[in-house]
Amino acid sequence: DAKTTQPNSMESNEEEPVHLPCNHSTISGTDYIHWYRQLPSQGPEYVIHGLTSNVNNRMASLAIAEDRKSSTLILHRATLRDAAVYYCILRTNDMRFGAGTRLTVKP
């Protein structure tokens, strides 16, 4: 399975943008890039996904490199509620989680 690499942790100030990077140099042409986040004491929740083009939804934006070997999840204005572990996942048939990035948001 193709692997992803994310920083262990990141910090952000409230109401500032956050850019969460993910490297996936062994991505295959059919892998979709998914992002999930896990708030404390909850199951993971879907954030966004994409294949080749940048994507926007109400929660975040996903910027995908032209060679697809990396991507960045963008939270436009971090809130305290965005403090979570963010997982970047390459999807084939099933979904396998890496270690993720623990995002801390400071007031």
Partner 1 sequence: SAVISQKPSRDICQRGTSLTIQCQVDSQVTMMFWYRQQPGQSLTLIATANQGSEATYESGFVIDKFPISRPNLTFSTLTVSNMSPEDSSIYLCSVESGTFSYNEQFFGPGTRLTVL
Applying CB under 8 A, the residues found at the interface with partner 1 are: 30-32, 34, 36, 42-46, 49, 51, 85, 87, 91-100
Measured from the CB of residue 32, what is the shortest distance to partner 1 in angstroms? 5
d(CA 18, CA 31): 25
**Phi and psi at residue 24, in whole multiples of 5°?**
-145, 70
Nearer to partner 1, 8 or 107 (CB): 8
Nearer to partner 1, 13 or 95 (CB): 95
Q: How is the beta sheet containing 70-75 ordered, strand by strand?
A: 18-23, 70-75, 61-64, 55-56
Measured from the CB of residue 44, what is the shortest distance to partner 1 in angstroms? 5
Measured from the CB of residue 97, what is the shortest distance to partner 1 in angstroms? 4
Measured from the CB of residue 43, what is the shortest distance to partner 1 in angstroms? 3
Nearer to partner 1, 18 or 100 (CB): 100
